[in-house]
Amino acid sequence: MIKIAVLPGDGIGQEIVQEAVKVLRVLPLSFDMQEAPVGGTAYDLTGHPLPQSTIDLAQNSQAILFGAVGDWKYDTLDRPLRPEQAILGLRKHFGLFANFRPAICYPELVGASSLKPEIVSGLDILIIRELTGDIYFGQPRGKRIASDGHFPGSEEAFDTMRYSVPEIERIAHVAFQAAQKRSKRVTSVDKSNVLETFQLWRDVLTCVGKSYPEVSLDHMYVDNAAMQLVKEPKKFDVVVTGNMFGDILSDEASMLTGSIGMLPSASLNKDNFGLYEPSHGSAPDIAGKGIANPLATILSAAMMLRFSLNQAQAASLVEKAVQHVLSNGLRTADIYSEGTQKVSTSEMGDAVAKALKTLV
């Protein structure tokens, strides 16, 4: 029995996770998929975005299938109680330090990209983002309250960017090992010209790279990398970078594929326990309308099968089913173009499940 903690979360998370579960149920595997609240949904129920019962369920599972968290209505809460703290808390609790974000432009979606077809055709990039360090977790952090009452609230706020050598070394090894299975090229993205943190990053990447002589390594400043992703994205193969830069660059890369609704992700610890989620957010503005794209979540479920559950063949079948549906011209609103068939969230899930049934 394969035990999966299903955490749909907020907004469209409820809708897209439902479709991924639907697809997984088609596979000839025995799943025990139990659901728990997280994010704003959990706050409404328990007063906390990551209740202990949800952590316990995840702790007793082999992987986590995650939707999305967040809603504007929670923006007035103290930061520790905001929905986004749930995903940060899960990353920290389980040591999920390596975030894999593949950006693949399917041939059927070349026209959906905002760039020219010749720029994105054949695109296949793997962005590896360090996930538990950097400015999101650095200490000290906080705010100082104005003493004279001149400005309502805080006088200043600060977050600390920091990395240690072991943190950089482990993500570097992950990147080089991934590159060995691909085109043997790693681009390390930093801002070492102005940040001491990323001078250390560059030094460590260079040192670790010597252990992988068959893999080429080049370094690129983050501002140049952002430009090159738009100008010449196919020059990249494996991109490794810090937490904040990876967050930004992977969202930029998603638009090369046609939609952020196509970008899956996997967050792994040293034991390959993982949290699998689409790279997009909870999109409360379209929640409940049945127009969200579930393919990133379905593809995240395929990554879960491959990385944490050792079911590579099943993962490939799910990915083939997605490509089959795209080849048949089915599109959710975000990737729709003239000459294709617009379908709802559930209709896209149904189509992938139907295609998968013909493959298993």
Q: Which of 56, 203, 218, 223 is catalytic?
A: 223
Classify 156 as helix, strand or coil: strand
Task: Respond yes or no: is residue 136 known to be catalytic.
Answer: yes
Which one from 10, 71, 191, 237 is the annotated catalytic residue? 191
Q: Beta strands of the chain (E only): which ranges? A: 2-9, 31-35, 63-68, 98-104, 124-130, 142-145, 154-158, 185-190, 216-221, 238-241, 264-268, 274-278, 330-331, 341-342
Which candidate in 251, 320, 336, 342 is catalytic?
251
Q: Give the active site residue among 71, 247, 276, 334.
A: 247
Q: Are 348 and 330 in contact (CB under 8 A)?
A: yes
Q: Cβ contacts of residue 35 below 8 Å, gap of 6+? A: 6, 7, 8
Coarse DSSP helix, strand, coil percentages of the chain, rounded to the nearest 5 percent: 45, 20, 35
CB contact set of 59 (below 8 Å; sequence gap of 6+): none
Which residue in 305, 267, 240, 246 sits closest to 90, CA to CA?
267
Dump strand ranges (E) for 204-337.
Answer: 216-221, 238-241, 264-268, 274-278, 330-331
Of the candidates 136, 184, 342, 354, the residue annotated as catalytic is 136
Could you tell me how many residues make up the chain? 360
Cβ–Cβ under 8 Å, residues 20 and 67: no
Catalytic residue check, 191: yes
Give me 312's structure tokens: 């590579």
Whether the Cβ atoms of residue 98 and residue 127 lie closer than 8 Å to each other: no
247: annotated active-site residue: yes
Give me the half-sphere count of Cα atoms (radius 13 Å) on the Cβ side of residue 306: 18
- Cite the active site residues: 136, 191, 223, 247, 251
